[in-house]
Amino acid sequence: MSELPLILVTNDDGIFSPGISYLAKIASTFGRVVVVAPDKPQSGMGHAITINSTLRIQKTSHHNAEKEFACSGTPVDCVKMAVNHILKKRPDLVLSGINHGSNSSINVIYSGTMSAAIEGALEGTPSIGFSLCDYSIEADFAQAGKFIAGIIAESLKNKLPKGVCLNVNIPKLKEEDIKGIKVVRQARANWVERFEERKDPYGREYYWLTGEFVNFEPESNDTDEWALANGYISVVPTQSDLTAHQVLTTLKHFETL
């Protein structure tokens, strides 16, 4: 039996996207690779799971992986399906991405890529989500290849803290211009949305969600936004406890209602 680590690779752009091909290729230099990824783009799906409908999986063979399945569900469904149904043993690492576009700051909660990594950590497996700040289908993932490999190697060698995954965002820069890695926190930010109204061929309104990203703390130098703006790869340790611990005491007055 092989001693090589078992690595589950998934994403949210779909099993045919260039980003997951590149990630599966890097992963294969570290161990046995199993790919379970959505059969279609699932960007912006957050931590959605499929409970009102059924799921399908289909064998594919696009990534030279040990096993590959396209799944009809969300990125989180893919991780659950892989861990609880497809894999015979628990994976040693879950890798998600490489996403075409940033998942820094508040984007983490909308991101299917990061939700898959968070789900991996919930399932007890060290997990990393990778995103490149370049939406182009022709984005050059190789520019950050040595850093991606380094982060994977380090995570396999020294296990990540339990329940914590990494949110890795890579600036759109040439290899020689990437200054290194910063371990930082999620910047406080939000999207200012606009709904673009259009008319369908039958005269009825429909809408496209669009928006502009606003960093609420551009001056802070310990955030992922700062790191990316300054030529660094940002690594945010990420977890799934949403409790606002700092106000637990402040809100005790609700107990007197």
Between residue 164 and residue 183, which ones bind a second copy under the rule CB under 8 A? 164, 166-167, 180-183
Q: What is the nearest approach in angstroms of a second copy to the Cβ of residue 77?
A: 7
Task: Compute the distance between CA of residue 97 and CA of residue 23 in angstroms, rounded to an integer.
Answer: 7
State which residue, 47 or 63, has the beta carbon closest to a second copy. Answer: 47
Question: Which residues in the 34-63 window bind a second copy by CB under 8 A?
Answer: 41, 43-52, 54-57
Closest CB to a second copy among residues 132, 166: 166
Please give the C-alpha separations between residue 41 and each of 32, 172, 188, in angstroms, as whole numbers. Answer: 25, 22, 27
In degrees, to the nearest 5, what angle opens at C-alpha 252 toward C-alphas 248 and 255?
130
Candidate segments 21-29, 62-70, 117-125, 129-137, binder of a second copy by CB under 8 A: 117-125
185 touching a second copy, by CB under 8 A: yes
Q: Which position has the token pair 């409908």?
A: 53
Distance CA 50, CA 149 (A): 32
* 237 in contact with a second copy (CB under 8 A): yes
Which residues between 69 and 108 bind a second copy (CB under 8 A)?
Answer: 74, 76-77, 80-81, 83-85, 106, 108
**Residue 16 within binding range of a second copy, rule CB under 8 A:** no
CB of 256 to a second copy, least distance (A): 8
**Is there a contact between 12 and 36 (Cβ–Cβ < 8 Å)?**
no
Taking alpha carbons only, the member of 252, 223, 235 closest to residue 170 is 235
- We find the least distance from the C-beta atom of residue 61 to a second copy, in angstroms, to be 19
Region from 2-10, 22-30, 110-118, 170-178 binding a second copy, contact rule CB under 8 A = 110-118
* Residues 193 to 212 in contact with a second copy, rule: CB under 8 A: 193-195, 198, 204-209
DSSP string over 102-124: ---TTHHHH-HHHHHHHHHHHTT
Q: In the complex with a second copy, which residue's Cβ is closer, 2 or 158?
A: 158
Contact with a second copy (CB under 8 A): which of 17, 115, 127, 143?
A: 115
- Strand, helix or coil for residue 127: strand
| Cβ at position 114, least distance to a second copy in Å | 8
The CA–CA distances, whole Å, from 49 to 20, 62, 73 equal 21, 25, 7
Spatial separation of the C-alpha atoms in residues 255 and 214, rounded to whole Å: 36
- 3 vs 200, which CB is nearer to a second copy? 200
Nearest residue (CB) to a second copy, 93 versus 184: 184
Phi, psi of 57 (to 5 degrees): -130, 150
| Contact criterion met (CB below 8 Å) for 37 and 78 | yes
* Residue 48 to residue 163: CA distance in whole angstroms: 19
Q: How far apart are CA 237 and CA 3, in angstroms?
A: 28
Shortest Cβ 2–a second copy spacing (Å): 26
Q: For a second copy, which residue of 2, 203, 212, 251 counts as binding (CB under 8 A)?
A: 251
